[in-house]
Amino acid sequence: MKLQFFTDPSEFLAVAGSVLAADPVVGSVVATISERAVRERADGVPPPDGPCWWAVITDGDAVVGLAMRTAPRPPYPMFVLPMPDAAARLLATTLHDRGEHPGGSNGALPAAQVLAEESVRLWGGSTAVEQRTRLFECRAVVPPAAVAGVLRPAEATDLDLVQRWVEAFHVEAAEQAGRDPGTDNGPDPDGVRRQIAAGKLWLFVGPDGAPAHLTGVNPPAFGVSRIGPVYTPKSHRGRGIASHVVAELTARGLAAGTRMCLFTDQANPVSNKVYEAIGYRPVVDMANLIIDAS
């Protein structure tokens, strides 16, 4: 097997594009972030301060694994797509030879687990699952009950509100799953501003004219769009707003010919049931793993 690193997302996509296109739902995170990095670099946005690379693992002429390290904050965890165990171990070994401690391993199981365990064998320390996630896809929406209000794109004047709600989403998601909220990477303020400008964040406004809900929708990458975050403040919960908004945005995407997916936290059975009720079905289980140095 051979491992090749790329620091230019365009060069990575030129090699990995056919693999991402073959399974664009499972590859949604890598595809979305890679294409976004291409756009941002063209606009002059600097890459993260920490490690930033994409990797392709080949066996002969076949691409057997894809990985990336593009997280903007320490410990800069990696993200891996499904790959043979030998490919995951090769990635861990190569990083060790480079003197680059992985910090974390996120993505498809069992590849993420194999990478984490091999890293601990090489570096010492320990690994633990921080979060178990599940990727869902919706092929047909089951309409929920209608909710009075209007869905509109977030605007520049909504920045402060959106920033607070995205931060609250990260904190509450960690608390609901029994994790320390301080360990979750919160939103990047500049990133939130760019998301608003790109039309990726939507607000649901109630009949009283006050925003009551936030949902994000990533632009399609290889024909797939991923929904998230999904956040309703406590004072507006219990009215079916999240179901209504996610169903509406999903239906719009499907009508435009886009495949629609989203992630759920397996430790939050409420959200899993909500999404399954409107037509989302499980695709693959993933996990976020911490890798502590000895």
Residue 114 and residue 179 in one domain: no
Residue 101 and residue 190 in one domain: no
So what's the pLDDT on residue 179? 57
Q: How many CA atoms lie within 13 A of 177 on its CB side?
A: 24
pLDDT at residue 294 greater than cutoff 90: no
DSSP, collapsed to helix, strand or coil, labels residue 10 as helix
pLDDT digits (tens, 9 = 90+) for 217-244: 999 999 999 999 999 999 999 999 999 9
Residue 73 and residue 195 in one domain: no
Residue 109 and residue 166 in one domain: no
pLDDT digits (tens, 9 = 90+) for 42-84: 999 888 889 999 999 999 999 999 999 999 889 999 999 999 9
pTM of the model as a whole: 0.91
Residue 227 and residue 274 in one domain: yes
Residue 31 inside a domain? The answer is yes
Residue 174 and residue 230 in one domain: yes
Residue 19 and residue 65 in one domain: yes
Q: Is 7 exposed, middle or buried (0-12, 13-18, 19+ CB in 10 A)?
A: exposed
Using CA atoms, how far apart are residues 70 and 79, in angstroms rounded to an integer? Answer: 8
pLDDT digits (tens, 9 = 90+) for 125-180: 999 999 999 999 999 999 999 999 999 999 999 999 999 999 999 888 766 555 56
pLDDT digits (tens, 9 = 90+) for 74-116: 999 999 999 999 999 999 999 999 999 999 999 999 999 999 9
So what's the pLDDT on residue 49? 85
Give the CATH number of the domain where residue 120 resides.
Answer: 3.40.630
Residue 155 and residue 262 in one domain: yes
Residue 197 and residue 262 in one domain: yes
Residue 293 inside a domain? The answer is no
Structural domain harbouring 221: 150-278
Task: Tell me if 229 sits within 8 A of 235, measured CB to CB.
Answer: no
Total domains present in the chain: 2
So what's the pLDDT on residue 178? 55
So what's the pLDDT on residue 268? 85
Residue 160 inside a domain? The answer is yes
So what's the pLDDT on residue 215? 98
Residue 140 inside a domain? The answer is no
Residue 39 and residue 120 in one domain: yes
Residue 291 inside a domain? The answer is no
Residue 172 and residue 120 in one domain: no
Residue 284 inside a domain? The answer is no
Tell me what the pLDDT averaged over the chain comes to: 93
Residue 164 and residue 88 in one domain: no
So what's the pLDDT on residue 110? 96
Using CA atoms, how far apart are residues 273 and 154, in angstroms rounded to an integer? Answer: 27
Show the 3-state SS of 46-66: CCCCCCCEEEEEEECCEEEEE
Give the CATH number of the domain where residue 247 resides.
Answer: 3.40.630.30
Using CA atoms, how far apart are residues 206 and 145, in angstroms rounded to an integer? Answer: 15
Residue 137 inside a domain? The answer is no
